[in-house]
Every structure is written in structure tokens, then in C-alpha cells.
Amino acid sequence: MKLMVTGIGGVGGYVASVLCAAYSDVTLIARGPRKEALLKKGLVLHSDVFGEHTAFPAVTDDPSTAGIQDMIFVCVKNYSLADALTAILPCVSRHTVVVLILNGVDHSAAAKKILPKCPIVDTTIYITSAYEADFSIRQSGTFARLFIGSDDKEAAQRAYDVLNCEGLTCRLSGDITAEIWNKYITNCAYNVITSYYEGTIGYVFSQPKGKEEFRTLLDEAYAVGKALGIALSPTLPEEIYDRVMRQKDKDVSSSLARDIMQGRQSELETFSGYLVKTADELHIPVPFSAHCYHTILQRLQHTAT
């Protein structure tokens, strides 16, 4: 079984660590300082769920040298998806299963345009994981859950069989689109509000309208999903709101907020821009989502100049 992972960040690094512990033929795609760190120190994981692991898989910045793969896991940010898929074309046959582990809701359609002949499997992952300054991976919390699904049931089962090993709790989903939207709605509120306030969720909730605004973002994202015909539970916004309210550790922000505050390229368009533009096309009012999106965008443009 030849496996490849591209996108060795917090999520991709964790998935790669789990795969390296279970399989012998894993190739990581990495470039620059990340590649050098992986070659010198290995893939280092510090995990509350999976423990301490160090692996020394093959690492390359040229996927074409790795040959045809049985399964490729794409764990990049959405803005890098097209480049990542183009880079792995030499590694793909009609039998190669490509597993997407990304944020957002539109990456599967984008992948099928670039890789029309191979099976695409979609996922949504629940995990708290990030890479450190030395490119080691730090996973915190008590869970690492992955939902897996595809129109190609055989491909989804193959992906499940590979991923369902120690370190990941996997579940096959009969409606992966709904699962993806369940998480996306959370992200459209959690990531966006922490970025809007440039602080932790605890800081957001300490603001006079913070809790109300968080709930508004949930409701607006939910309305867009329903307008698209996604099979969402009628109580979903309330369930998400209650879950976050009960969250013990509120001294946490979000990947979007961290990227923006640290001056890195961000997934603002994934978590906010896509929702606002889709709402406009559907004539669904999302005034606070639009306000947050344009406010954050203006800050980024001001910083860039």
C-alpha cells in the first residue's frame, strides 16, 4: 500500500503521523524549511490522543519522483488546493483514491475538475492540532474524529479501512455533505468571530454583544446551507451554540484568527467570503456575516499597504 500526504501542517501532520505508525510506505510532500526539518528530525508528534511519536518517512518536494500511489491524502489549505492537486498528477492513476481533508465546502467540486478520472473521497475532521516553530505537530484535547464519505462507496470504504487505525476515530457517513456543512457552520461563526475581535472565544464572549453575534453568525450560515438544500438538523445552530458555551477551555482562538494576527495567508475566503457570496447569489440576507467579512478584509488590505 503506497500512501502519500500533501500538506504537513497541524492536521496533515497528525494524519501523516497516524499513517506512519500503521504503514511502512508513506511519502510526505514538503518544501523549504519544513522539508529540511522533516529530513533532519523526522515527523515529530506530541499528542494528547496518540502520544509521543517520531517517524522518518520518505519526504520529497517533487511528487513525480514517488511514482503512482494507492491513496493520496490532501490536507492543504483551500487556497493551495489547485497547486497541490496539479503537483500530484504524476502520482495518480484511475485507481488512486484521493482523500480530501480540508476546511470549507467546495473543495470536492474543485478537485473533480482537476482529477476527473480518479475516485475522490471527502471528509470532515474534528481535531485541535497545529505545528510548532520547529515543525513538530502538537495535538491537544481528547478527540481526533474523522467522518468519511463519497458518491463512490467502494472508494469511501477503502479510505475508511486505511484511516481507521489507532489515533483516529473514523466513521463512514451516508451524507458527507451534511457532515461537512455541520462543521462549516461552526467555522463560519467560531473562526470569523474570533478573527473579527482578534482574540480568543472567551474574549469574544466577554464583549457586550459577543455571544449574540456568535449566535447570529451561526443562524446566517445555517440559512445558507438550508437554502442550498443541505439536510441539516433544525436544531443545529442551537446545538453548536450550547456546545461552545459548555466548552471548558475558552482561552483559544481559531486557525483563521491566528493566521490573520500573525500576518500569514489566511482562509478568510473559505470561512467567510464563500458564504457571503453564496448568500448573495441565493438572495439570503446575512448582514452580520457580510459586515464581519468586509471589516476583516479591509484590515488585511490596510495592513498590506
| CA dihedral for 114, 185, 145, 77, sign (positive or negative) | positive
pLDDT for 246 equals: 95
Residue 26, domain CATH: 3.40.50.720
Residues 23 and 125 in one domain: yes
Residues 127 and 234 in one domain: no
Distance (Å, whole) CA 6 – CA 251: 30
Question: Of 174, 197, 229, at which residue does a domain stop?
Answer: 174
Q: Which residues share a beta bridge with 31?
A: none
Residues 12 and 38 in one domain: yes
pLDDT for 233 equals: 97
Cell of 127: 481535531
Residues 129 and 183 in one domain: no
Contact at 8 Å (CB) between 66 and 96?
Answer: no
Question: Of 138, 158, 174, at which residue does a domain stop?
Answer: 174
Residues 183 and 154 in one domain: no
Residues 206 and 290 in one domain: yes
Backbone angles phi, psi at 4, to 5 degrees: -135, 145
Residues 129 and 34 in one domain: yes
Neighbours of 233 (CB within 10 A): 11
Distance (Å, whole) CA 59 – CA 66: 9
Question: Of 143, 174, 205, at which residue does a domain stop?
Answer: 174
Distance (Å, whole) CA 87 – CA 84: 5
Neighbours of 282 (CB within 10 A): 12
Domain count, the chain: 2
Residue 295, domain CATH: 1.10.1040.10
Distance (Å, whole) CA 102 – CA 180: 10
Residues 165 and 208 in one domain: no
Residues 161 and 185 in one domain: no
Question: What is the DSSP code string of 211-240?
Answer: HHHHHHHHHHHHHHHHHTT----TTHHHHH
pLDDT for 305 equals: 66
Residues 68 and 118 in one domain: yes
Residues 165 and 241 in one domain: no
Segment-wise mean pLDDT, segments of 10 residues, the chain, 305 residues: 97 98 98 97 97 98 97 96 97 97 94 96 95 95 95 97 97 97 97 97 97 98 98 98 93 91 93 97 98 96 77
Residues 167 and 193 in one domain: no
Domain range for 145 is 3-174
Say how many CA atoms lie within 13 Å of 16 toward its Cβ.
35
Say how many CA atoms lie within 13 Å of 114 toward its Cβ.
17
pLDDT for 303 equals: 78
